[in-house]
Amino acid sequence: MSKKHLDFKRMLDDTDFSDPSSIERYAANLDGMTFRDILELGIAPEGESAPKDFGSKKYKGGMGTLIEERYFGYKANSDDRPDFPEAGVELKATCFDVLKDGRKSAGERLVLTMIPYDRPVSLDYDNSHLKTKLSNILLIYYGRDRSIDKYDQRIERAVMVRLPEEDMKIIRADYEKIISYIQDGRADELSEGMTTYLGACTKGATEATMWVDQYYEYFNTDTGEIERRRAKRRAFSLKRSYMDYVLHTYVLGAPRVGESIVRAGAESIDFESYVTGLIERHYGETDRQIAEQYGLEYTGNKAQWTTLVYRMLGIKNNAAEEFVKAGINVRACRVNKRGHIEQAMSFPPFEFKQLINEDWETSSFRARLETSRFFFVVFREDHEGEWRLDRCLFWAMPANEIEGSAKACWDETRKVIREGVELNPYRDASGKLKVTNNLPGMADNPIVHVRPHTSKAAYRFADGTEIGDISRNAYELPDGRWMTRQSFWFNKGYLEHILGL
Which CATH number fits the domain that encloses residue 301?
Answer: 3.40.600.10
Residue 81 pLDDT? 84
CB-count burial class (<10 Å; 0-12, 13-18, 19+) for 277 = exposed
Task: Give how many domains the chain has, as a whole number.
Answer: 3
- The answer for residues whose C-beta is within 8 angstroms of residue 35's C-beta and 6 or more apart is 54, 63, 66, 67, 142, 150, 151, 152, 153, 155
Task: Judge whether 496 lies within some domain.
Answer: no
Task: Judge whether 500 lies within some domain.
Answer: no
Task: Judge whether 264 lies within some domain.
Answer: no
Q: Quick: pLDDT tens for 62-98.
A: 888 899 999 999 887 777 788 999 999 999 999 999 9
Most confident of 209-213, 223-227, 311-315, 426-430: 311-315
Task: Judge whether 35 lies within some domain.
Answer: yes
Task: Judge whether 497 lies within some domain.
Answer: no
Domain end call among 222, 251, 280 = 251
Confidence of residue 303 (pLDDT cuts 50, 70, 90): confident
**Global confidence as pTM:** 0.87
Domain end call among 376, 397, 418 = 397
**Nearest-angstrom CA–CA distance, 331 and 393:** 10
Q: Which of 176-180, 316-320, 392-396, 468-472 has the lowest mean pLDDT?
A: 316-320
Residues spanned by the domain of 321: 271-397
User: Are both 315 and 417 inside the same structural domain?
Assistant: no
**Nearest-angstrom CA–CA distance, 79 and 11:** 26
For the cut 60, the answer to whether the pLDDT of residue 58 exceeds it is: no
User: Are both 95 and 231 inside the same structural domain?
Assistant: yes
Confidence of residue 50 (pLDDT cuts 50, 70, 90): low
Task: Judge whether 262 lies within some domain.
Answer: no
User: Are both 120 and 201 inside the same structural domain?
Assistant: yes
Domain end call among 335, 366, 397 = 397
User: Are both 204 and 306 inside the same structural domain?
Assistant: no
For the cut 80, the answer to whether the pLDDT of residue 183 exceeds it is: yes
Selected residue with higher pLDDT from 424 and 48: 424
User: Are both 135 and 185 inside the same structural domain?
Assistant: yes
Task: Judge whether 67 lies within some domain.
Answer: yes
Mean pLDDT of 336-344: 87
Q: Quick: pLDDT tens for 417-457.
A: 999 999 999 888 887 888 999 999 999 999 999 999 998 99
Residue 1 pLDDT? 63
User: Are both 72 and 102 inside the same structural domain?
Assistant: yes
User: Are both 156 and 57 inside the same structural domain?
Assistant: yes
Confidence of residue 121 (pLDDT cuts 50, 70, 90): very high
**Nearest-angstrom CA–CA distance, 32 and 30:** 6
User: Are both 327 and 218 inside the same structural domain?
Assistant: no
Q: Quick: pLDDT tens for 217-264.
A: 988 888 888 988 899 999 999 999 999 999 998 888 888 778 899 876
Q: Report the mean per-residue pLDDT for the chain.
A: 91
What pairs with residue 435 in β-bridges? 425
Residue 265 pLDDT? 63
Q: Quick: pLDDT tens for 354-373.
A: 999 999 988 999 999 999 99
- DSSP of 357-385, one letter per residue? T--GGG-HHHHHHHH-EEEEEEEEE-TTS
User: Are both 51 and 177 inside the same structural domain?
Assistant: yes
Residue 460 pLDDT? 95
User: Are both 129 and 55 inside the same structural domain?
Assistant: yes
Residue 388 pLDDT? 96
Mean pLDDT of 162-172: 92
Task: Judge whether 266 lies within some domain.
Answer: no
**Nearest-angstrom CA–CA distance, 491 and 477:** 25
